[in-house]
């Protein structure tokens, strides 16, 4: 399998979803993927691409802004899609039980900066930035050897 690239130019929404799908092909239980970016940057689109490749292309994937977390059952592991935008304090993470699933599910987290020090040390950070021409730039930063290996040439 081709190693992951650290930067991606995403010209269309389909490119953002395709990046999510490429990440899903490498997904493993215990993965935590933190999605950063302004409103409208494509965080939910990337998560939708990830979830649909593992759960079926017709899977409904609403933004979890109001529910905070959505659960999906993939063949080999569960997927949790969390949107922490509405959290008022990092301690709310404990109350909703998000960190309890970090070991056995794949967790996709929008607005992870709301977690503060509760953000897992081993994770993949993806920052999506909107450019003047409407394209997005995705920057992937691995944290921990598990993630760093996925970026190394085979």
Residue 36: give its domain's CATH number.
Answer: 3.40.50.300
Tell me 2's DSSP state.
P
Q: Return the structure tokens found at 92.
A: 């709310």
Q: What is the total count of domains within the chain? A: 1
Does residue 72 form part of some domain?
yes
pLDDT tens per residue, range 1-53 = 566 789 999 999 999 999 999 999 999 999 999 999 998 899 999 999 999 99
* Residue 6 within any structural domain of the chain: no
Q: By residue range, what is the domain housing residue 107?
A: 29-113
Q: What is the CA radius of gyration of the chain?
A: 14
Kindly state the tokens that stand for 19. 């990046």
Question: Between residues 108 and 117, which one has the greater pLDDT?
Answer: 108
Residue 43 lies in a domain: yes
Return the number of other C-beta atoms located less than 10 Å from residue 103's C-beta.
11
């Amino acid at each position: 399998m081709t190693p992951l690239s650290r930067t991606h130019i995403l010209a269309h929404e389909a490119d953002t979803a395709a990046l999510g799908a490429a990440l899903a092909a490498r997904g493993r239980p215990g993965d935590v993927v933190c999605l950063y970016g302004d409103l409208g940057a494509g965080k939910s689109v990337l998560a939708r691409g990830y979830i649909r490749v593992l759960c079926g292309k017709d899977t409904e994937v609403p933004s979890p802004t109001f529910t905070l977390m959505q659960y999906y059952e993939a063949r080999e592991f569960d997927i949790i899609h969390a949107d922490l935008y509405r959290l008022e304090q990092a301690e709310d993470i404990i109350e909703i039980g998000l960190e309890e699933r970090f070991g056995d599910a794949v967790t996709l987290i929008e607005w992870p900066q709301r977690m503060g020090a509760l953000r897992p040390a081993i994770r993949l950070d993806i920052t999506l930035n909107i450019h003047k021409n409407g394209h997005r730039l995705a920057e992937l930063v691995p944290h921990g050897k598990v993630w760093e290996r996925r970026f190394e040439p085979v």
